[in-house]
Amino acid sequence: MITFFKKLSLNSFGSVKGGIRDGFADFKSGLRDATTAVKPTRSKMMSYDQPLLWAVMVLVTLGLVMVYSASIALPDGPKYARYSSSHFLVRHAISIGLAFVVGIMAFRVPIKVWDRLAPLMFGVAFVLLIIVLIPGIGKGVNGARRWISLGFMNFQPSEMMKLAVVLFGAYYTVQRQEYLHSFVKGLIPMGAAVMMVGVLLLWQPDMGAFMVIAMIAMGILFLGGISGKLFGALAGIALTAFITIIILSPFRRDRIFAYLDPWQEEYAAGKAYQLVHSLMAFGRGEWFGVGLGGSVEKLHYLPEAHTDFILAVIGEELGFVGVTVVIAIFYWIIRRAFLIGRTALQLDRSFAGLVAKGIAIWIGWQAFINMGVNLGILPTKGLTLPFVSFGGSGMLMNAVAIAILLKVDYENRVLMRGGKL
């Protein structure tokens, strides 16, 4: 009997002990559910915006194919007779490979380092714009002196200046936030810097690059909170400056007249020659195009078919559908860049947010101008289509810009997970 009661007491004590332990576990579970409402799991958030990277890679791959298609017949003419049919394909592939390597290196640089380097990059780009104008150093093509020969490639300082203006514009806006409502302390310094860059670019001449750089600077100042009256005054000054430049330049004035009536005999064989053949290419492509490699306009009819007018070749070979897909991809990339910038601003990362939005303005505005020129919406300007056109400098700087954009997104995600930079 005594043994029975001992066993009963031990069993009861064990049950009570187990019940207390289970009850405490339930209490902790209930407390966890009450505070977080979810069971802790591993985050499924990607470390960076992979769809954005894939969209860029689609454009780069399309560009590689279309550069080969647009340039394959160039060696048949006297200008490129010493080149092989795959010359531009190989050079473009090398540029893409170099841009990929440099892009990876740029991605490894924290945004706070880009913040510190912004004034230095602007200064270096400004000096290079001066150097390119020196005879014997700057390389001229078709009357324009825009390149510096590095042996393995021709570097275009204006492409570096676009990236430098994005970084410096964001840096300037953050550092002088309290003065953005002042004309003297807020607007004049940035306006003077952009005007000095514009003078150097117009000496090359490269008005297209100047328009992109001016829009980047104005866009960042606007997004940074500049006074509405000051922004309106700035826009008015910029518009007046561009109109004055056109009026005082007979070459640019003739381009405007040719743009307004490209089919007039006087212009169709002269200033509007590229536009006329570009429109012919789009018309010939119809809905689905004539097929890859089937373009006729690239056979020495359409000048610069592999650079400034590559969209016309896409329109002829891939049709309306192909051009629509390209426009849709650009829209998606630009939208993602603005969303990344907005997220950074919500996390109190002003410089990172303005850089992301500045990159969106850069890519969007340049793509819009190139497409507008190809479609006859805008007067002819020598601007390439980002990620698609042939050009080592453009591809290199575009890769660095996308790397910085992905870095902004990466750091945003680290902070949203509760991490530290």
Summarize pLDDT for 295-348 with one digit per residue, the tens.
999 998 998 899 999 999 999 999 999 999 999 999 999 999 999 999 999 999
In a domain, 3, yes or no: no
pLDDT in the model for residue 42? 53
Distance in angstroms (rounded) separating the CA atoms of residues 99 and 394 = 9
Q: What is the pLDDT of residues 22-55, one digit of tens each?
A: 544 444 444 444 444 445 455 566 788 899 999 9
What's the gap between Cα 386 and its chain centre?
A: 7
Residue of 97, 130, 109 lying closest to 355 (CA atoms)? 109
3-state SS assignment for residue 262: coil
Look at the block and give the residue holding tokens 């892009």: 103
pLDDT in the model for residue 47? 80
Residue of 376, 400, 395, 396 lying closest to 384 (CA atoms)? 395
pLDDT in the model for residue 37? 47
Contact 354, 172 (CB under 8 A): no
Contact 283, 276 (CB under 8 A): no
Distance in angstroms (rounded) separating the CA atoms of residues 317 and 311 = 10
Residue of 381, 400, 407 lying closest to 251 (CA atoms)? 381
Distance in angstroms (rounded) separating the CA atoms of residues 370 and 381 = 8
Look at the block and give the residue holding tokens 């953005």: 180
pLDDT in the model for residue 219? 94
Residue of 62, 90, 84, 64 lying closest to 72 (CA atoms)? 84
- 372, with CB counted inside 10 A (0-12, 13-18, 19+), is middle
**Structure tokens given for 361:** 């303005």
pLDDT in the model for residue 8? 39
Inter-CA distances, 277 with 22, 295, 383, 407, Å = 81, 12, 17, 41
In a domain, 14, yes or no: no
Residue of 278, 276, 271, 307 lying closest to 295 (CA atoms)? 278
pLDDT in the model for residue 303? 87
Question: H helices of 72-187, where?
Answer: 87-107, 111-131, 157-175
Q: Which domain holds residue 217?
A: 44-412
In a domain, 13, yes or no: no
* Torsion over CA: 9, 11, 16, 17 (sign): positive
In a domain, 362, yes or no: yes
3-state SS assignment for residue 378: coil
In a domain, 375, yes or no: yes
In a domain, 229, yes or no: yes
In a domain, 145, yes or no: yes
Look at the block and give the residue holding tokens 């791959």: 61
Q: Report the domain count for the chain.
A: 1
Instruction: Output the pTM of the full model.
Output: 0.86
pLDDT in tens, the chain (421 residues): 444 444 434 444 444 444 445 544 444 444 444 444 445 455 566 788 899 999 999 999 999 999 999 999 999 888 888 888 899 999 999 999 999 999 999 999 999 999 999 999 999 999 999 999 988 888 877 667 888 988 778 899 999 999 999 999 999 999 988 888 888 888 888 889 999 999 999 888 888 899 999 999 999 999 998 888 888 888 888 888 888 888 888 878 888 888 888 888 778 878 888 999 999 999 999 999 999 999 999 998 998 899 999 999 999 999 999 999 999 999 999 999 999 999 999 999 999 999 999 999 999 999 999 999 999 999 888 889 999 999 899 999 999 999 999 999 999 999 999 888 7
Q: What is the dihedral of CA 26, 28, 32, 35, to 10 degrees?
A: 110
- 250, with CB counted inside 10 A (0-12, 13-18, 19+), is exposed
pLDDT in the model for residue 300? 86
Q: H helices then E strands: how many in the chain?
A: 14, 3
Rounded to 5 degrees, what angle do the CA atoms 191, 195, 201 make? 145
pLDDT in the model for residue 127? 96
Inter-CA distances, 96 with 89, 360, 399, Å = 10, 21, 9
Distance in angstroms (rounded) separating the CA atoms of residues 225 and 219 = 10
Beta-bridged to residue 139, according to DSSP, are 147
In a domain, 419, yes or no: no
